[in-house]
Structure formats: structure tokens, C-alpha cells
Amino acid sequence: MSEIPKQRVLLIGGLILILPSLILAIANGTSDEDTSKGFARFANAFLTTYTLTSLFFIVNMFRYSKSRNEPKAPWISMSYAAILGILASILLTTQGGVLLEDNSGSRAQILTNVVHFIITATAVLVSVVIMIFVAFVNITSRIQNRD
């Protein structure tokens, strides 16, 4: 595959991921207050996802570095990324009401973000499992129809 179709595929894939959220935000956000709440929710979700994903990648890179016999190289940079995410989350939630939404403090907001992330991740995992089962059902039905 040449370089230009790969870039198109990545661009289309990125648009497919972002487009539903943009459509919902445009359709739902009619006032300035809704827009600021939407921005706060998006920023909180982004910070929480960044932090938790970087923590996951630390464990992943640690296992990878053991297999490559370089125990410190890859996971030190991921540790810095996780620390950056944690610091950014704490600093941005303690700077006033910008990212606190309707919670009383930064701890409550961070806990709310983590719970929302867990629920969303669980929903995505369940949908992936369902899609895998649907794919297997379609594959097996095609094989049986050929025979």
C-alpha cells in the first residue's frame, strides 16, 4: 500500500471516530453554558483517559522491555507521561471551577472521571465482544452455506 492511501485511511478512520461526538455536541449545545460544560466534560474525559492509558502502557512497556533485555529504556518515558497526566489532572482541577463541573472538589471530580472512564471502557469492551461474536456467526454461516 502506498503512502497516500495509508494517510487517507488514517484520516477517514480519525473522522469516523470523532464525527459522532461532534454531531452530538453541535446538536445538543445551544447555549454558552452548555458549551462550557461540554468543554469541561471533554477535558476531564481526555485527561482521565490519557492518565489511565499511560499507566496501562507503563505495565505494557515494562513487560516489553523484559522481553528485549533492556529493563529501563521504554517504560521510563511512559512513567514520565503518566506523571505528566496526573499532575495536569490535579493542577487543572484545583485551578477553580474550570474543570470541576458540579463537584465539590478536585478529589470528587477525579473520582467521577475515573468512574465514567470505567463505565465507558466496560461498554466498549462489551460491544467489541458482541461484534466478535457476530463476526464468528457470519463466518460460520458462510462456511456452512458453501458445504
Give pTM, 2 decimals: 0.52
What's the CA gap between 40 and 69, in Å, rounded? 43
For the chain, give the mean pLDDT. Answer: 75
The DSSP output letter for 104 is S
pLDDT in tens, 61-108: 777 777 777 667 676 777 787 788 788 777 776 776 666 666 677 677
